[in-house]
């Protein structure tokens, strides 16, 4: 469970999501990511470190350059976790169809108070 917490925290930032988008389907060096982000190089390095520590990115060194790419195994794991949540929700709705409507009604009543 802790793994998912670090993953979702890492994804909870606009810059880090932009970096993930940049890396979809390709590998980029830090300099390319830095140019695209329009933030300081230390800030980019900080965001890359968070994404890597969460297991979302892999890197490789080539001379003085570091290249980053998506860690597809982590994204598959995350996708599997979301699928499990959605299946559980579907089961609840199937067996307790009024519960989701009732919950919404209860929330509306609380807001009106």
> Residues 94, 49: contact at Cβ < 8 Å?
no
Residues 45-87: tens digit of each pLDDT? 999 999 999 999 999 999 999 999 999 999 888 888 878 877 7
As a whole number of angstroms, the distance between CA 93 and CA 22 comes to 37
- Whole-structure pTM value: 0.73
Residue 33 binned pLDDT confidence (cut-offs 50, 70, 90): very high
Burial of 52 (0-12, 13-18, 19+ CB in 10 A): middle
Based on its alpha-carbon atoms, the radius of gyration of the chain, rounded to whole angstroms, reads 20
Q: What is the pLDDT of residue 4?
A: 82
C-alpha neighbours within 13 Å on the C-beta side of residue 55: 14
Q: What is the pLDDT of residue 100?
A: 56
Q: What is the pLDDT of residue 51?
A: 98
More confident residue, 87 or 110: 87
As a whole number of angstroms, the distance between CA 15 and CA 40 comes to 12
Does the domain made of 2-70 have the CATH classification 1.10.10.10? yes
């Amino acid at each position: 469970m802790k793994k998912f917490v670090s993953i979702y925290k890492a994804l909870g930032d606009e810059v880090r999501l932009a970096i993930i988008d940049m890396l979809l389907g390709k590998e980029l060096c830090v300099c390319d990511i830095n140019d695209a982000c329009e933030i300081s190089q230390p800030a980019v390095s900080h965001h890359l470190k968070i994404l890597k520590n969460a297991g979302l990115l892999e890197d490789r060194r080539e001379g003085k350059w570091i290249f980053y790419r998506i860690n597809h195994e982590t994204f598959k794991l995350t996708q599997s976790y979301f699928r499990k949540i959605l299946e559980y929700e579907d089961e609840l709705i199937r067996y307790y169809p009024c519960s989701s409507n009732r919950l919404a009604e209860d929330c509306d009543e609380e807001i009106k108070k």
